[in-house]
Amino acid sequence: MDTTAQTDYNPALTGDGADKAQALVYPRIDCKDVSVFYSGKQAVFDVSLPVYDRSVTALIGPSGCGKSTFLRCLNRMNDTIDGAKVTGEIFMDGENINSPEVDPVLLRSRVGMVFQKPNPFPKSIYDNIAYGPRIHGLVEDRQELDAIVEKSLRRAGLWQEVKDRLAQPGTSLSGGQQQRLCIARAIAVRPEVILMDEPCSSLDPIATARIEELIDELRKRYCIVIVTHSMQQAARVSQRTAFFHLGHLVEMGDTDQIFTSPRERRTEDYITGRFG
C-alpha cells in the first residue's frame, strides 16, 4: 500500500501554477495504525491515513470493507457500540482523540456527521438548526441564534427554499432538502471536520447533484470525509480517494490518479467493475 506519495501537501490547494511549497500543510486528522474490533472480531486492520483540511477525502470499497467503520472512528461513534474496541492513534490537530481527557461530546461538535438517511429531529426547521448551538452554549441571545440559523441554512444552500417556513417541521421537507437540513444542522455548531456516510444514497440524481455542489462549496471551509458506494461520486467530489478492501486500506492517492492509473491491482479490479 502506498500512502507515502504526497502525504505532505494538500492537493486541493495546488491549483494551476500554485507553488507546491505554499500548499504544504499537515494533515487535519492523522490516523496511525487504526484497528477496530467488534466483540473480538477484527473489522479494520492497521489503517494509517492522513486527512487534509479544506479538501474532500473519499473512502470507497465494497460492502463490509470497513470504510464506514473507519469513518466512525473519526468522531468516536464506535464508542456507542457495545463490544467495539478501537486501537491505534488518531490525531486531530496533534491531540489523540481517543485519550481519556477528550470529551467525546465536544469532539463530535468539532467533527460533525451526516448519515445515509436524512434524520431531522421531529422539530421545526428552525429548531433543527438551533438545537446544537443552544446545548453547546454557543449563543447568548435570540438574535445571535437567528443569525446562526440563517448562516447555516445559507451555507447548506437551503435558505432560499425555507426562509418563509422556518416554523414548519423539518420532516415536511423533501428528502434532498432534509439531507441539506442535516448538513446545515451539522455546520451550525461550527465543526472543523464533516463526516458523511453515503449522504446521497437515498436521494434522486437532482438532489444528489445539489448535495455534491454543496460539498464542493463546503470544502473551501471544512475538512470533509465522505463514504460513498458510487465511484463516480467519489471521482466527482473528492480530491483524495482511499480504497478499502476486507478491512485493509489498499491504496490511497490523488483522486485523478486513483481513477485513471491506480497502482494496486485490487483497486483497478474494483473501480473497473471486475469484482465487488
Residues within the interface to other proteins (CB under 8 A): 231-232, 235, 259-262, 267-269, 271-276
Between CA 81 and CA 19 the distance in angstroms is 45
What does the block give as the cell for 205?
Answer: 440524481
Considering the complex, what minimum distance in angstroms separates the CB of residue 21 from other proteins?
24
Sign, CA torsion 25/92/185/189 = negative
Considering the complex, what minimum distance in angstroms separates the CB of residue 106 from other proteins?
40
Q: Identify any residues that bridge with 252 across adjacent strands, giving them in sequence order.
A: 242
Considering the complex, what minimum distance in angstroms separates the CB of residue 67 from other proteins?
18
**Residue placing its CB nearer to other proteins in the complex, 87 or 272:** 272
Considering the complex, what minimum distance in angstroms separates the CB of residue 93 from other proteins?
35
Which residues in the chain belong to E strands, given as ranges? 29-38, 41-51, 56-60, 84-92, 95-96, 111-114, 193-197, 223-227, 240-245, 248-254
What does the block give as the cell for 49?
Answer: 491515513
Match 460492502 to its residue by C-alpha cell.
63
**Residue placing its CB nearer to other proteins in the complex, 178 or 255:** 255
